[in-house]
Structure 1
């Protein structure tokens, strides 16, 4: 058997490591590209009441989802549809969710209402949609809007913000970003940002604008990241009256830096 010698072994090692790391990089290459997206739309009329003359519930869902990363898609499905969305397929997740809505509202409807209440108080509409707010090779951030009208003066509106770490496929939470004991400092930053937004010198000056007790304002975990900083959303009635709508508060990374943990993925934007 021919001896290939030291140079031969060295060459084999080089080829092996190039092949190994080349395959590894190829496997994660899609993480270095921006996500692409498709959209699904559905419109359904649901017979909520058994009474034949009762109005149907109108359900519309518009779903924007990634089509080139299965791991991120699973997280999108779960954020959009909850436990009903954990199926790995956007179309199936959407259909399962609509079926769940139909079953839920039928089971919780009082059929006697259809006889005794006027139609405008029986009419129900449900609208769910999302949008992509920001993405790069590190994060993808989105917004989900849920609007439910069940009669009365106005609908209920709920906005959910989120950021997914593309390298883990997981949704970020505050503990991923901040040092231990961050809550009090972050709350102060949020109130200060509100003061700047509304041109107020003191926190209590916000209350005549429609805000509740500013001493009780604290982070709620409803946030997203982009390349500028963090954006929080407080839904109707969380910290202010319905008339003010959802309250958005932005804080830049330089302001956040004292409470960012050393291994916070937000440091990606400081490099």
Structure 2
């Protein structure tokens, strides 16, 4: 999975440098799903009007954001709010297009002030539906951007939503009261097994956990096998290692998950 993450980042970088150019387009592709929550994927694309020419090869900076559109507008508002908040760098974006335009404006302003600059920028944001149940919608927001430097920056963030009650699903709402400590202990055992670390071996030298103590984040998705946590590049390891995923199976959550909840093995 680590190699896969780095491969996806590389593919995004190459695609963003070579795709055919146009200006401010919106694409729409229908997707049929066998669930009550039908949706389609739309995308916003914005290109810079200041091409970069290197050795007679012209390229243009671009910003692309693709996202699902549901019939229920409350779901769409939740997704957009999360995406815009994740990309907020001191600016209050009002729409996906506003977000993309802002990125390209930053490049254009930079390009005007640095006329000898020979590198394009890109931003690629993608929201995908990864799981659907009557009371559960899980989405993965993949965000890759490049504004110069040694490599692109990337993040992978899960969004969890109850489409019936229209509220975000947080980790604590899935656990029995006071169970976070036990969940963390179970997760650490699995993490150490995955990383081939014996119990008691320090996490200080190779990991970035605060105070060198293992901890879970809030970046999770409920899968068919259990609850999966995702750590982004730089979050607990060096960038070269890519993402780190940690799956806790339902069988390990018997005394931790709320009865009749998403993490209950009976469901």
TM-score by length of 2: 0.69
Q: Give deviations 1:182-215, integer Å, cap 9, x for gaps.
A: 443333222222223234433637777x434594
State how far apart, in whole Å, the 2-side matches of 1:48 and 1:202 are.
55
Q: Give deviations 1:105-158, integer Å, cap 9, x for gaps.
A: 667x4854x14x6413xx211100121111121211110100011112111101
State how far apart, in whole Å, the 2-side matches of 1:193 and 1:100 are.
42
State how far apart, in whole Å, the 2-side matches of 1:268 and 1:48 are.
54
State how far apart, in whole Å, the 1-side matches of 2:263 and 2:218 are.
19
Larger Cα Rg: Structure 1 or Structure 2? 1
Which residue among 134, 137, 142 is the counterpart of 1:140? 137
Alignment partner, residue 119 of structure 1: 118
Shift of 1:42: 2.9
State how far apart, in whole Å, the 2-side matches of 1:212 and 1:267 are.
28
Which residue among 183, 187, 191 is the counterpart of 1:186? 183
> Between Structure 1 and Structure 2, which shows a larger proportion of helix residues?
1
Alignment partner, residue 211 of structure 1: 207
State how far apart, in whole Å, the 1-side matches of 2:111 and 2:174 are.
46
Shift of 1:102: 4.2
- After superposition, the Cα gap between the structure-2 partners of 1:34 and 1:199, relative to the gap in structure 1 and judged at 3 Å, is farther
SS of corresponding position for 1:258: coil
Alignment partner, residue 218 of structure 2: 221
- After superposition, the Cα gap between the structure-2 partners of 1:207 and 1:243, relative to the gap in structure 1 and judged at 3 Å, is farther
Task: Give the number of the structure with larger relative contact order, counting CA–CA contacts within 8 Å between residues 6 or more apart.
Answer: 2
- After superposition, the Cα gap between the structure-2 partners of 1:257 and 1:268, relative to the gap in structure 1 and judged at 3 Å, is closer
> Between Structure 1 and Structure 2, which shows a larger proportion of strand residues?
2
Quote the RMSD (CA, aligned, Å). Answer: 3.5
Listed as ranges, the gaps of 5+ residues in structure 1 are 1-32, 85-91
State how far apart, in whole Å, the 1-side matches of 2:203 and 2:188 are.
9
Alignment of 1:99-110 (within 5 A): 99-102=101-104, 109=110
Alignment partner, residue 130 of structure 1: 127
For these two proteins, the number of residue pairs brought into alignment is 224
